[in-house]
Amino acid sequence: MSNREQEQDTALQQVRCIECLAKVQVRKSAWEQTSVQWTDDALDLCRERPARATGNLPRDQFVGCETLRAAVRDETVQGHLKLADRAAAS
């Protein structure tokens, strides 16, 4: 495995929503920047995600889940979610 692949593997960390238990992959590049990769299963489980298109936000353009954001914030503050830069340096 190349160094680049190791960095990418280390950078993605699983976070579970405390409400619906959906699991997503999170990459925390900096305290101010978080990338979330949703799986189809997580999208189906999320209670805050619209079940069908409403207004100008079709089903495929989900903007996020406040409960999951809180879970990511809590994991970061508690030190369970590492910043990608630090994870790659270890």
Spell out the per-residue pLDDT of the chain, length 90, in tens: 455 544 444 579 999 999 999 999 999 988 889 999 988 899 889 988 765 556 565 555 667 789 999 999 999 999 998 888 655 555
**Cα 23 versus chain centre, distance:** 8
Question: CA-CA distance, 88 to 51, in Å (whole number)?
Answer: 37
The answer to whether the predicted template modeling score (pTM) of the entire model surpasses 0.75 is: no
What pLDDT is attached to residue 73? 93
pLDDT in the model for residue 49: 78
